[in-house]
Amino acid sequence: MIGLPLVYLLSGLMFAAFAVLSAGDRENPKRFGNAAFWGLFALSFLAGDHLGDLGNGVLVLCLAVIAGTGQLGVGAPKTTSPEDRERLATSYGVRLYVPALVIPVLVLAGSLTFKHLTFQGAHLVDPKQATLIALALAALVAAVLSKVMFQQPAGAPIQEGRRLMDLVGWAALLPQMLAALGAVFALAGVGKSIGEIAVMITPADSRFAAVAAYCVGMAVFTIMMGNAFAAFPVMTGGIALPLVIGQFGGDPAVVCAIGMLSGFCGTLLTPLAANFNLVPAALLQLKDRYAVIRAQAPTAVLMLIVNVILMNALAFHR
C-alpha cells in the first residue's frame, strides 16, 4: 500500500539534492552552512523513523544552531536570469500557468479516487493520506509537464527549488516545527493551565468577557505559535469548552468556527506564519520582509473585533 513513506522519500531526496548542489556552489560564501542545513532536513525525512525521539531532537537543535548563527546564505543556482524569465513569460503567455493549475486538479481527483482504489481487497493507497499522496504525485506530474512544455533542462526543477529555498531560508521549516510544538503543548497540559488562568481573570458572570478571552486568546496564541491549528486545541480546551460552551451554553459549532477564524486573524499578524507572511515577501524580493504583515494588520484587527461580536450574537441563540 502506498502511504506517507513515499512522500517522505520524495521530500528527502529533494532536500538532499539541495544540500549537494549547495555544497558545490562556490559563489555562495556560506555554502557549507546551506549544505548542512538542507542535508540534516533531508535526513529527517529519509531516516527520521530510525533516529528516534532523541535523535530527531538533536537534529532539530542542530538546525536551529545553523540558522541562529547566520550560517545560511543565498547561492547562485544554475537557473534562468530575470531577463530570461521575462522573455519566456512573453513567449509562452498564459501557458505558464498550466503546470501550476494541473496540481490542484490532480490533488482533487486523487483525493476523491485514491480512497476507493483496491487490489485483491486491499487498498492501493492509504485512505487516510490520500490527499498528501495525491499532492506529491501531482507535483511530479507538474515537473515533468513543465519539462515537456517549456523545454527546460532536466535539473531545472531542482535548481529553481534550491533558489527559492535559499531565498526563504529557515522560515520554510517553521510550519512543520510549530505544528509539532502545538502537539507538544497540548500533551503537556498547556491548555489546562491557560484555562485555569482564564477562569481566574475572567468575570464569572460575564459571557462577553469569556467570548472576548477566547477570541483574543486564539489570536494571541496563534501569533506566538505561528499556527492557528496548533493554537486551537490549546485555547479551545482551556477556555472555550469550560467557559464559553460549558458555563454559558454556547453552540460548539459556532464557537469553534469563529474561534478558528479568530486564530487566523493572528496568522495575519505574525512572522512565525512564515509560509503566509515571510515567504511571499522573500519570493517577491521586497526590501521590507514584514511588508505583508503591515498591509494585513488593519484587516486582522478589525476582523478580530467583528469575530467577538459575531460569536456573542450567534453562539447563544438557544
Tens of pLDDT, residue by residue over 249-271, are 889 999 999 999 999 999 999 88
Mean pLDDT of the residues in the chain:
85
Query: Is residue 80's pLDDT more than 70?
Result: yes
Q: Which segment of 21-30, 34-43, 70-79, 248-257 scores lowest on mean pLDDT? A: 70-79
CB 226 within 8 A of CB 174: yes
Quick one: which of 198, 201, 200, 205 has its CA closest to 240? 198
Which range, of 60-64, 76-80, 180-184, averages the lowest pLDDT? 180-184
- CA angle 59/65/71 to nearest 5° reads 115
Tell me the per-residue pLDDT of 125-157, one tens digit each, with 9 for 90 and over: 888 888 888 898 999 999 888 888 888 787 888
* Of the ranges 2-6, 283-287, 290-294, the best mean pLDDT one: 290-294
Q: Which helix (H) or strand (E) holds 119?
A: strand 118-119
pLDDT-based confidence at 188, cuts 50/70/90? confident
Please state, for a pLDDT cut of 90, what percent of the chain lies above it: 25
Residue 191 has pLDDT above 70, yes or no: no
Instruction: Return the closest-CA partner of residue 248 out of 219, 216, 212, 201.
Output: 212
Span of 43-57, 120-134, 186-200 with lowest mean pLDDT? 186-200
Give me 122's grid cell.
486491499
pTM of the full structure = 0.71
What pLDDT does residue 303 have?
A: 96
Least confident residue range of 50-59, 155-164, 247-256, 279-288: 279-288
Helix H or strand E segment including 122: strand 122-123
Q: Is the pLDDT of residue 244 over 80?
A: yes
Q: Look at residue 289 in the predicted model and tell me its pLDDT.
A: 81
195 pLDDT higher than 70: no
Query: Which residue is listed with cell 522573500?
Result: 282
**pLDDT value, residue 81:** 76
Cα 127 to Cα 2, 112, 124, 132, 135, distances in angstroms: 10, 10, 9, 10, 14
Confidence of residue 318 (pLDDT cuts 50, 70, 90): low
- For 51-77, what is each residue's pLDDT tens digit? 888 888 899 899 989 988 888 888 778
CA 22 to centroid of chain Cα atoms: 24
